[in-house]
Amino acid sequence: MKIHTRKTTVRVSEVRDLTERSARHFREKVQPALLPFCRTVEIDLSQTAALDSWGLAELIAVYKTARQHDAQAIVRLLRPRPPVQQILDLTRAERIFEVVAAEPAP
């Protein structure tokens, strides 16, 4: 997993999975990066093969932390793979996250 901060945006990439097995590691790495000036959090899910309730809880924790720092903060989930998108759809995650789908293949 990689975390990059640029001005008011934190970008998380290379997340292999967000499951019970990896949720604690995700939290330990991402939460400290959410500084008070952070207005946008982008989590690239294009390499994420699995998402379970533990992983979803961590995404919600990121949202809550970002919103505590800035009530207008945005958490954007980028390019989720089909199995991950299915979980996001079932849980209506688009109500709190901005979900940016993958570009359709030409």
Sheet holding 9-13, edge to edge: 2-6, 9-13, 40-44, 74-78, 98-100
Of 31, 34, 40, 35, the C-alpha closest to 73 is 40
Q: Where does the pLDDT of residue 102 fall: very low under 50, low under 70, confident under 90, or very high at 90 and above? A: low
What is the model's pLDDT at position 103? Answer: 60
What is the structure's pLDDT at 36? 86
Residue type present at position 76: R
Question: Do residues 44 and 80 touch, judged by C-beta distance below 8 A?
Answer: no
Q: Which residue has the tokens 């093969």?
A: 49
Q: What is the DSSP letter of 102?
A: P
pLDDT at 31 over 80: yes
